[in-house]
Structure 1
Amino acid sequence: MEEILNAAPQHVVTLENINLKYNGERGEVTALQNVNLNIEKGEFICVLGPSGCGKSTLLNIMAGFLKPTEGEAKMNGKLIEGASWERAVVFQTPTLYPWLNIHDNVAFGPNVRHLPKKETEELTRKYLNLVELGDFGDHKPYELSGGMRQRASLARVLVNQPGMILMDEPFGALDALTRQNMQTLIRKIWSQTQNTVFLITHDVDEALALATRIIVMSSRPGRIVKEFETDFTYDIDGVNKESARYTRKYMQIREEILNIINEQNETLKL
């Protein structure tokens, strides 16, 4: 874990003066305005903001699903010009092929990339075990619970060993206990794999539990209002676990984030 904290910064994704506009029913809409962001290797970034502030739009630009109206989005110094396995996306609803079993769903990406059969099998087994589904490879998606399907979707992303994982409210549809278990699992996986993660959430406590950096966005047009460097994920991953949630620093940052979001929600009403 110290290697992540002490390593020299290496920008995986860079956003420079990003603006995105589109034509709505009432004319031109500015979804994002002057967004600048550098994401370093090994960071776990969580994004918060009022509904409709452009969080998902920002993720879609990084994924290569959308092109900004102005500005540049780059990965490892190269323009992002389309979707790529190097930037894997995990959605709120698990994306699994219902006609394939869980093993074959996870192996799908490596097979498409024509990796050697032995390597594909080794990677598939490794990541099924990592998400604690090693005994469920022969099950079809409909035979698994919602949390297990989301874990399978995560394994399907991880098996491609992407440079960045983009997650759009991946736990939003889960019940409270399953959601907490998934948070614990994603912390464990992040600490083991040192993946770079960009996760959208509406849950401030989820962001504080997971992130090494929290980004708070304004109401539309979406801008970055404030960033918070956090280290609660290290404490929670260690022996202290839940005690990190009750420190003065945790509560102060939590209150400040909620105040910013509430102010932005009030702006929407004006």
Structure 2
Amino acid sequence: MSNYLREEEVVVSIKDASLVYQGDKAEVVALQNVNLDIQKGEFICVLGPSGCGKSTLLNIIAGFHKPTSGVAMIDDQPITKPDWDRGVVFQTPTLYPWLNIYDNVAFGPKMRKQQKEQVKEDVEKYLELVQLEKFHKSKPYELSGGMRQRASLARVLINEPKMILMDEPFGALDALTRINMQKLIRDIWNMTQNTIFLITHDVDEALALATRVIVMTSRPGKIAKEFHTEFTYDINGTNQESVTYSPEYTELREEILNIINAQH
């Protein structure tokens, strides 16, 4: 399989990052000497056994955690705190239950004192993009899990972040909704050319979405291997089953599973 090549423009750079925290009985090394450059427009999916530090790595990029040693940079500046330029979508949608969907999506721009007319235009644009324009007056509890996750995605997209971080965003959804959400995020990525960093336990989900798959070792978390893939482009233009049953897909899937299973 030929690697997909793009013009290199590094958005986030992680250099020799380790994170140690105090456990109940001893110190725990969650991440150890992680080095990673994330280029503009990449769709990165991270796989690995439970407890390998996937979410810790995402939290460092988001600015929720600081590495114990090493550094994480965005646009050559240290990441010291959360900011609008890194939008986060969690597994459980983080919507304000007392606000309707329109006001949830509008919350960020309003907090940044954007003009009312611009906020209205942007909210309508992103609600249409996630196919929720008919539900703008609904409260979160009136929507299905998939719809709430789409609303969470719109709330991130409206801020036009440099990078979208997604921590198992489809893990709690049923199989059909999950497939539909994968297609939606793939379509949005193709339209916006945003940079996406997504954590998943599902190898097929990673191969269906990513331009680069990162496989991590068990704790202490390190990068075991990286794979540049093109399946997301193939799936976008053809029947997904014809791609997933191809020899190239099957071979890569097996290699990734072998690496993960070897960690147990």
Matched residue of 1:25: which SS? coil
Q: How does 1:143-222 map to 2 (within 5 A)?
A: 143-222=142-221
Please state how far the C-alpha of 1:241 moved relative to its aligned partner: 3.3
User: Matches of 2:86 and 2:116 in 1, distance apart?
Assistant: 23
Indicate whether 1:83 and 2:82 are aligned: yes
Q: Report the secondary structure of 1:135's partner residue.
A: helix
- Displacement after TM superposition at 1:244 (Å): 1.1
Q: Number of matched residues?
A: 261
The aligned counterpart of 2:23 is 24
Task: Measure the CA separation in 1 of the matches of 2:124 and 2:193.
Answer: 19
Distance 2:55 2:44 in 1: 14
Gaps of 5+ in 2: none
For residues 1-270 of structure 1, what are the structure 2 equivalents within 5 Å?
Answer: 7-265=6-264
The aligned amino acid for 2:241 is: E
Percent identical across equivalent pairs?
67
TM-score, normalised relative to structure 1? 0.95
Displacement of 1:28 in angstroms is 1.1
CA deviation vs aligned residue, 1:24-74 (integer Å, no higher than 9, x gap): 112111110000000000000000000000000000000000000000100
Deviation at 1:7, TM superposition (A): 4.5
Which runs of 4 or more aligned residues in structure 1 lie more than 3 Å from their structure 2 counterparts after TM superposition? none
89-98 vs 233-242, which deviates more?
233-242
SS of residue matched to 2:260: helix
Shift of 1:118: 1.1
Q: Deviations over 1:188-219 (max 9, x none)?
A: 01000101000000000000000000000000
User: Structure 1: which amino acid aligns with 2:28?
Assistant: V
User: Could you tell me which amino acid in structure 2 is paired with residue 248 of structure 1?
Assistant: P
Name the aligned partner's letter for residue 147 of structure 2: M
Cα RMSD for the two superposed structures = 0.9
